[in-house]
Amino acid sequence: MINDNAPVGATPLDPDEQEGCKHKHITTREQLDELEQVNIQQGLQWLQRYRQKDVLTDAFMRKLHIRLFGEVWSWAGTYRKTEKNIGIDPREIAVQLRMLLEDAQFWAANATYPPLEAAARFHHRLVSIHPFPNGNGRHARIATDVYLNKMFDHRPIEWAHGFDLQANNQRRIDYLAALRAADKGKYDLLFRFVGISG
């Protein structure tokens, strides 16, 4: 039921992952979206008060996922254990995530890429790892804005551009097309999507 009406490009939940829902009364995708949205707002408020700079750690990535989804999912902040249609072998998540965070640290320290380019690369690798059973897109968009803010003192990306990125619309189609192109090593669409002109 929870997987019904999911937007394109969303990751379906396995039955054992659905078990982890803390609200046993919910039956529809709409109810779930609503509960997650409330939780995410709480998480964003926590983030606004978060003053530390040590965001490029796996502990912070997991903490952020807990703050965004922990009221809804008991497995929030824990890496997925099952294969999904997107994402690497679950046994590789911990190592690949650490490598990404080290690379992202290096890019910032050495100005390897301009901020938005570093952010686009960081975002694509994070969603490609797909660390969690669900909420990877939302977590990774917020984590990317945190990366821009803390490491580059840069404003957040305009992900939604007036659309609802959770729903099926042209902005989401463009977002997924950009990620799929990046899967093949072509980053132009994603660079344009995050607001790099030219």
Ligand X SMILES: Nc1ncnc2c1ncn2[C@@H]1O[C@H](COP(=O)(O)OP(=O)(O)OP(=O)(O)O)[C@@H](O)[C@H]1O
Give the residues lining the site for ligand X (CB under 6 A). 9-11, 86, 127-128, 134-138, 140, 166, 176, 179-180, 183
Nearest approach, Cβ of residue 176 and ligand X (Å): 5
Cα–Cα–Cα angle for 108, 123, 184, nearest 5°? Answer: 110
Q: Per CB under 5 A, does 10 bind Mg ion?
A: yes
Closest CB to ligand X among 102 and 183? Answer: 183
Written as six digits, the tokens of 4 are 């019904």
DSSP label at 147?
Answer: H
- Give the Cα separation of 5 and 28 in Å (integer): 9
Nearest approach, Cβ of residue 10 and ligand X (Å): 4
Q: Dihedral through CA 42, CA 123, CA 148, CA 77, nearest 10?
A: 40
Q: Per CB under 5 A, does 146 bind Mg ion?
A: no
- Give the Cα separation of 20 and 110 in Å (integer): 41
Nearest approach, Cβ of residue 102 and Mg ion (Å): 27
Q: Residue holding tokens 């390897």?
A: 112
Q: Per CB under 5 A, does 134 bind Mg ion?
A: yes
Closest CB to ligand X among 13 and 56? Answer: 13
Nearest approach, Cβ of residue 114 and ligand X (Å): 22
Options 3-11, 22-30, 41-49, 114-122: segment touching Mg ion (CB under 5 A): 3-11
Please report which residue ranges of the chain form alpha helices under DSSP H: 15-19, 29-48, 58-69, 93-110, 115-129, 136-152, 170-183, 188-193
Closest CB to ligand X among 91 and 180? Answer: 180
Nearest approach, Cβ of residue 121 and ligand X (Å): 12
Closest CB to Mg ion among 134 and 144? Answer: 134
Closest CB to Mg ion among 87 and 115? Answer: 87
Q: Residue holding tokens 């099952």?
A: 82
